[in-house]
Amino acid sequence: MYLQMAWRNIWRNPRRTIVIMTAVIIGVWAMIFLGALMRGISDQMVRNGIMTLTGHVQVHHAGFRKDPVIENSIDKPEVVEAALSKILPRDARWTTRVRVDAIASNARHSGGVTLVGIDPEQEAGISFIRQAITEGTYLKAGDKYGIIVGEALADKFDTKLGRKLVLMSQDTNGDIASRAFRITGIFKAEMETTEKQFVFVTITAARKMLKLGNQISEVSILLADYKNADRVADDLRGVLPSVSYDVQTWQELLPFVTAVLKMYDWFIYLWFLVIFIAMGFGIVNTILMAVFERIREFGLLKALGMKPWWIVKEILTESFFLLILGMVAGNALGFLSVFALADTGIDLSALSEGMEFAGMSRVIYPVIAIKDIVAANLVVLILGLLVSAYPAIKAARFTPVKAMAHT
Amino acid sequence: MSIEIKMAWRNIWRNSRRSVLTILAIVFATMLLVFMLSFQFGSYDTMINTAVKIHTGHVQVQAEGYRDKMDIRLVVPDPDAVDDIIKDIPEVEAYTSRANAFSLVSSSDRTYGVLLTGIDPEREAKVSTLKKLVRRGKYLAQEDTDMALVGELLARNLKVDIGDELIVLGQGHDGSVAASVLKVKGIFSSGEDKFDRNSVQMPLGYFQDVFFMRGAVHEVVVLGRSLEDVKKIKKELGAGIRSIDSDGNLVVLDWMKLMPGIVQSIKLDLVSGLIMYVILIVVVAFSILNTFLMAVFERTREFGVLIAIGMTPGRLMRSLFLESVTITLIGIILGIISGSMVTWYFQVHGIVISGAAEILSQYGLPERMYPQLSVLSVSIGAGIVLIITILTAIYPVLKVRRLRPVEAMTAV
């Protein structure tokens, strides 16, 4: 009976109901859609970070992170490899790299880069580089002189495919090692800084240049599910003593991204609250109106023996219907707009330098996060009912005689 | 007071609870917008000023193409001539010259590629914050020659401390090999990793000797009295440069050209902020639309009587519209007052956003943010609320026009 009464009551004044429902719909839509956009931005940041050579978990020499030089290489890669094959789940992939700061130069320019020696086959399944080649070819195992550079770097150096590039760095003896490479591939990355920073050669070529034996600078591990990163890292720490090895998850490796994620979390919930407050005033006002124009009716009901609590319940049910209808439509609209943009995304290339500055990629794809959807709907429903309690209690307090005399 | 205003005013307080709630909704929206816009503008100001002070200055004179390529051969050949022009521009606060070269810097056991910059110590201290960023050791003195300031992270990587020697190897202006030995005099830290890891500063005169610059520099950096003066300085400087540089080799660049990343990210932030505010205000508008609607519909009978006794619909509409506008204006004014007070409080005390310090320092920003209350931030915020609310008020008022006195009077 309550349900029926409440339902009929909200349609006694359809225009009013539709107006306040529109407010709820737009509010819920704004929560879901803008939340999804922010999640999209932060997801992409994480993915970029992970794909740009980070992986989910990395193992280094204990001193490498503070001082990334060639002396701080892992001397016995076979120890790490044995640990990896024991601990990693079957569907995880990993690769070894040599990584060192170097100076690249050609006849006209020189600049600092990070030289990355990779195992072409293993690397292909782990980082972005295999898919990012736009010109020329990817490295082949054992290639001694091939080098892959970013588009932006090639531009800056006025160079192109097939030209020579000399790399200089410090070798294991502390001497300056230099080696000439030929550009066999050019890659394009999400971020221009990546294109400018990294150059790739085979791990064999890098070792030869730096006079390394079979040492490596880092192991990068990609798990099937990034949520397992902490557990895998803990397991690895159990086997690899922290005196000589440093095991880190992507959260520790990308502090900037982790900080941004935290701030976005905070920001999304703040946005939910702000939008709710904006709706809240409308909800209270509408229910108040609906209550006051029915004062006589409530007086009569009470005179007939309706308990005050029932009146509260009745009014809360009305507001519940209002909120639920608005939420259903708002959610539907939110999901629709997210799906509409799922393929094309929002292209902000026009502001690419600003995006780069803020650490974002050029195209934003909204991403729906279940916890945001739940949070948004809970905020609206619970707080919505809470603010409706004020008019509901007002209505329950009318004394029958006064109320019936009200005009 | 005309009768319409009186009527509108009394009508507002006929249902005071409803009016107060509506006003509160508008106050909330206005307050939030004033605060948020002030906060955004404040952070832009800090961002620009910090970046300008650490890196570029407000305006620079460079050789055409130098900014993109950083080629050591693209020089400003006669900085003194440029200085003579700058001297006569009243809006200029300070100016200096710099020269840069990408070089290999080695300590006893490490080698890194860095950007070596030649600075004029005394003049540089007036233009940039470099002097204040020196955390250990001392800033360069005017008569210093083979001394260097090293970024904190770089010093750590190179494993050098105050007094240690650095060997510099690079390519001179004429293409020959340039080499020198520098002594670390000070270690600076800006908080911005890229800068602290990648730069070494040395006296300009000695730099010019080592790199065979023959008196030339790469950048003449000008700091204006304020951001607003930049346009004027750029214009006057541009005119002056054309008179000494007939080939058009030199260009005058303002900070927006020098740091396009900052300008674009400000645009991005502003646009995304505005989109959010408009959505928010639309939600508020629908929230208060009901109040405006009810104010009209519950008085149908009354309007019928008024029209029947001779009130023209136009006058009635005016009085109703006045009612909505008054509610809106009260809300906006209270919103501006409370928003300004909140903003003012934080402008004095600053805001620390938890977890954001890390992000901010990478943009070279201090941890504590200060909103900047300005006529612009207040008027934009209030303006958006005013426009959308007034639009909301128009719809119910238009409904009155179709009122027929007889039918209206019979309405319940």
Considering only CB atoms, A281 lies closest to which of B24, B112, B264, namely: B24
Chain segment A282-301, per-residue pLDDT in tens: 899 888 888 888 888 888 88
Beta carbon pairs, A and B, within 8 Å = 157
A102 touches chain B (CB under 8 A): yes
Evaluate whether B373 touches B38 at the Cβ level (below 8 Å): yes
CA quadruple A313, A317, A320, A326: dihedral sign? negative
A5 touches chain B (CB under 8 A): no
Considering only CB atoms, B355 lies closest to which of A263, A278, A288, namely: A263
Give the separation between CA A133 and CA A149, rounded to whole angstroms: 9
Instruction: Tell me the longest C-alpha to C-alpha distance in chain B.
Output: 101
Q: Which of residues 301-330 of B touch A (CB under 8 A)?
A: none
Give the separation between CA A39 and CA A369, rounded to whole angstroms: 7
Average pLDDT rounded to a whole number, residues B158-176: 90
Q: Which of residues 125-164 of A touch B (CB under 8 A)?
A: 156
Average pLDDT of chain B, as a whole number: 87
Task: Write out the H or E segment, with its range, that includes residue A274.
Answer: helix A255-292
pTM for the whole structure: 0.81
Q: How many CB atoms lie within 10 A of CB A386?
A: 13
Enumerate the β-bridge partners of residue A245: A61
How would residue B363 be classed by pLDDT, with cut points 50, 70 and 90?
low
Q: In this complex, do B267 and A351 lie within 8 Å of one another by their Cβ atoms? A: yes
Distance from the Cα of A390 to chain B's closest Cα (Å) equals: 12
Predicted local confidence at residue B354, as pLDDT: 65
- Strand B59-63 and strand B219-224: the pairing is antiparallel
A263 touches chain B (CB under 8 A): yes
Enumerate the β-bridge partners of residue B52: none
What parts of chain A have a pLDDT lower than 70? 357-359, 407
Question: Among B285, B334, B335, B299, which Cα is nearest to B7's?
Answer: B299
Chain A residues close to B173, C-beta within 8 Å: none
Give the separation between CA A131 and CA A138, rounded to whole angstroms: 9
Predicted local confidence at residue B49, as pLDDT: 84
Considering only CB atoms, B283 lies closest to which of A168, A176, A275, namely: A275
Q: In this complex, do A16 and B294 lie within 8 Å of one another by their Cβ atoms? A: yes
B352 touches chain A (CB under 8 A): no
Nearest CA in chain B to A114: B113
Predicted local confidence at residue A101, as pLDDT: 87
Chain B residues close to A279, C-beta within 8 Å: 283, 287
- HEC string for A23-53: HHHHHHHHHHHHHHHHHHHHHHHHHHHHHHH
Q: In this complex, do A174 and B109 lie within 8 Å of one another by their Cβ atoms? A: yes
Predicted local confidence at residue B362, as pLDDT: 67
Evaluate whether A154 touches A191 at the Cβ level (below 8 Å): no
B279 touches chain A (CB under 8 A): yes
A286 touches chain B (CB under 8 A): yes
Q: In this complex, do B198 and A112 lie within 8 Å of one another by their Cβ atoms? A: yes
Give the separation between CA B70 and CA B145, rounded to whole angstroms: 24
Distances in Å between the Cα of B285 and the Cα atoms of A280, A282, B290, B328, B387 are 12, 9, 9, 11, 10
C-alpha B39, offset from chain centre: 10
Chain B residues close to A106, C-beta within 8 Å: none
Question: Among A135, A126, A112, which Cα is nearest to A199's?
Answer: A112
Nearest CA in chain A to B269: A354
Distance from the Cα of A220 to chain B's closest Cα (Å) equals: 23
Query: At A199, is the secondary structure helix, strand, or coil?
Result: strand
Average pLDDT rounded to a whole number, residues B385-391: 91
Enumerate the β-bridge partners of residue B101: B116
B167 touches chain A (CB under 8 A): no
- ipTM confidence score: 0.79
Give the separation between CA B264 and CA B247, rounded to whole angstroms: 32
Give the separation between CA B114 and CA B199, rounded to whole angstroms: 6
Task: Tell me the CA end-to-end span of chain A in Å, nearest whole number.
Answer: 27
Among the residue ranges B8-17, B147-156, B336-345, B346-355, the one predicted with the least confidence is B346-355
Nearest CA in chain B to A266: B354
Output Rg (C-alpha) for chain B, integer angstroms: 31
Residue type, B245: D
Evaluate whether B95 touches B223 at the Cβ level (below 8 Å): yes
Task: Write out the H or E segment, with its range, that includes residue A197.
Answer: helix A192-197
Chain A residues close to B48, C-beta within 8 Å: none
- Strand B219-224 and strand B92-106: the pairing is antiparallel
Q: Which of residues 185-244 of B touch A (CB under 8 A)?
A: 198
Give the separation between CA A74 and CA B362, rounded to whole angstroms: 30
Best interface-test mutation with A: which of B106, B284, B286 has the largest number of A CBs within 10 A?
Answer: B286
Evaluate whether A256 touches B359 at the Cβ level (below 8 Å): yes
B356 touches chain A (CB under 8 A): yes
DSSP label at residue A382: I
Q: In this complex, do A354 and B356 lie within 8 Å of one another by their Cβ atoms? A: no
A101 touches chain B (CB under 8 A): yes
Q: In this complex, do A282 and B290 lie within 8 Å of one another by their Cβ atoms? A: yes
A305 touches chain B (CB under 8 A): no
Average pLDDT rounded to a whole number, residues B343-352: 89
Nearest CA in chain A to B30: A278
Give the separation between CA A221 and CA A218, rounded to whole angstroms: 10
Predicted local confidence at residue B241, as pLDDT: 87
Q: In this complex, do B284 and A289 lie within 8 Å of one another by their Cβ atoms? A: no
Question: Among B27, B26, B291, which Cα is nearest to A288's?
Answer: B291
Question: Among A339, A329, A342, which Cα is nearest to A377's?
Answer: A329
Residue type, A96: T
Average pLDDT rounded to a whole number, residues B241-268: 85
Nearest CA in chain A to B18: A285
Question: Among A45, A124, A76, A121, which Cα is nearest to A240's?
Answer: A76
B17 touches chain A (CB under 8 A): yes
Instruction: Please check the confidence at residue B320 and state whether its pLDDT lies above 90.
Output: no
Predicted local confidence at residue B342, as pLDDT: 93
Question: Among B254, B218, B249, B219, which Cα is nearest to B236's?
Answer: B254
B288 touches chain A (CB under 8 A): yes
Evaluate whether B41 touches B343 at the Cβ level (below 8 Å): no
Nearest CA in chain B to A407: B412
Enumerate the β-bridge partners of residue A105: A110, A166
- HEC string for chain B: CCHHHHHHHHHHHHHHHHHHHHHHHHHHHHHHHHHHHHHHHHHHHHHHHHHHHHHHCCEEEEECCHHHHCCCCCCECCHHHHHHHHHCCCCEEEEEEEEEEEEEEECCCCEEEEEEEEECHHHHHHHCCHHHHEEEECCCCCCCCCEEEEEHHHHHHHCCCCCCEEEEEEECCCCCEEEEEEEEEEEECCCCHHHHHHEEEEEHHHHHHHCCCCCCECEEEEEECCHHHHHHHHHHHHHHHHHHCCCCCEEEEEHHHHCHHHHHHHHHHHHHHHHHHHHHHHHHHHHHHHHHHHHHHCCHHHHHHHHHCCCCHHHHHHHHHHHHHHHHHHHHHHHHHHHHHHHHHHHHHCEECCCCHHHHHHCCCCCEECCCCCHHHHHHHHHHHHHHHHHHHHHHHHHHHHCCHHHHHHCC
Q: Is B287 exposed, middle or buried (0-12, 13-18, 19+ CB in 10 A)?
A: buried
Considering only CB atoms, B265 lies closest to which of A103, A176, A354, namely: A354
Residue carrying the six token digits 């070792």: A207
Query: At A312, is the secondary structure helix, strand, or coil?
Result: helix
Q: In this complex, do A358 and B298 lie within 8 Å of one another by their Cβ atoms? A: no
Give the separation between CA A27 and CA A179, rounded to whole angstroms: 61
Considering only CB atoms, A256 lies closest to which of B260, B268, B358, namely: B358
Predicted local confidence at residue A86, as pLDDT: 87
Q: Crossing angle, helix B16-51 and helix B260-297, to 10 degrees?
A: 170
Q: In this complex, do B17 and A288 lie within 8 Å of one another by their Cβ atoms? A: yes
Task: Write out the H or E segment, with its range, that includes residue A299.
Answer: helix A295-303
Angle at A75 between CA A72 and CA A77, to 5 degrees: 120
Report domain extents, chain B: 3-51+262-410, 65-248
Residues belonging to chain B? 412
Average pLDDT rounded to a whole number, residues B67-88: 87
Predicted local confidence at residue A339, as pLDDT: 92
Average pLDDT rounded to a whole number, residues B379-390: 91
DSSP label at residue A248: E
- Strand B147-151 and strand A133-136: the pairing is unpaired
Distance from the Cα of A327 to chain B's closest Cα (Å) equals: 14
Best interface-test mutation with B: which of A64, A285, A287, A388 has the largest number of B CBs within 10 A?
Answer: A285
Residue type, A62: A
A260 touches chain B (CB under 8 A): yes
How would residue B355 be classed by pLDDT, with cut points 50, 70 and 90?
low
Task: Write out the H or E segment, with its range, that includes residue A256.
Answer: helix A255-292
Predicted local confidence at residue B364, as pLDDT: 64
Predicted local confidence at residue B14, as pLDDT: 84
